[in-house]
Amino acid sequence: MQPEHTDIPNLLEDLKRTVRQALDEDVGSGDITAQLIPADREARARVITREDCTVCGRAWVEEVFRQLDPELKLRWHCEDGDSVTAESVLFELEGNARAILTGERTALNLLQTLSGTATTAARFAALAAGTGVKILDTRKTIPGLRTAQKYAVLCGGCFNHRIGLYDAFLIKENHIAAAGGINTAIRQARGIAPEALVEVEVENLQELREALAAGADVIMLDEFSDADTREALALAKGKAKIEISGSVDADRLQQLAALDADYISSGSLTKHLRAIDLSLRIDL
């Protein structure tokens, strides 16, 4: 597995579980406010974005309303990954008023969060445009929304690092110390899962040389200076891919992308997101 390769269908396997949990925490034993509305009242509604954004979360929204009332009809005006402008209608709803209002907050919470992630990813992708570097996410995701956020990163034009602790090795400082060194750690990794990608985080050029000698597939440079990064790239050429990490934000991304590494990873894609301002308007 290479960091940029992710099987999108696998990211959606837990969608029903995610939505069910989100509805359970909001609806609980029942929406008592929705009971103010006659049970057979029909309504139409529109969801509007108050700001420019990259849309993500259609499947999660659809699953919210499917679980509440499969008879509700949704009509989308955009696709995941589309860039839309403020005041655009994202989708329309028609059906039982109680179901629409009960699902409103859960649907918007998921849509605004995933669209916020995709919007950040789109901004990072634009900053790296024209370079050969791939912008990767990390495991710094909202608990319970790992696969959803990683899907959103793809919608924004960036790429996925490993999904979790199970699909690739990422040997960091504490692993190296506990295993007895870089060479020992990599050798053991090859024995545990021969087909898995092995990545090693290094803090200086000497550790980089050790990782190269031990046959790491990817080497993550943690807080390297630009000068040391250039030297690391020269040393690793043809031997291992290089990933830049540490203090990567939008302000520094263009400078780092110009160094021409294979990857730049940033937790900012998922952990520093700002939810998009959305609004649901209902017509009875």
110 vs 56, 73, 206, 279, CA distance in Å?
9, 19, 45, 13
Q: Name the H helices within the chain.
A: 8-11, 15-27, 58-68, 97-127, 146-155, 173-179, 182-192, 205-214, 226-236, 250-257, 268-271
Set 222, 228, 231, 277: catalytic member: 222
Confirm whether 249 is a catalytic residue: no
Confirm whether 13 is a catalytic residue: no
Set 80, 201, 217, 243: catalytic member: 201
Confirm whether 223 is a catalytic residue: no
Yes or no: say if 138 and 172 are a contact pair by the CB < 8 Å rule. Answer: no
Set 139, 172, 239, 252: catalytic member: 172
Confirm whether 16 is a catalytic residue: no
Set 66, 105, 123, 190: catalytic member: 105
Set 139, 140, 239, 271: catalytic member: 140
Yes or no: say if 158 and 253 are a contact pair by the CB < 8 Å rule. Answer: no
Task: Extract the tokens encoding 139.
Answer: 């495991």
Confirm whether 105 is a catalytic residue: yes
Task: Extract the tokens encoding 279.
Answer: 């609004």
Which residues are marked as active site? 105, 140, 172, 201, 222
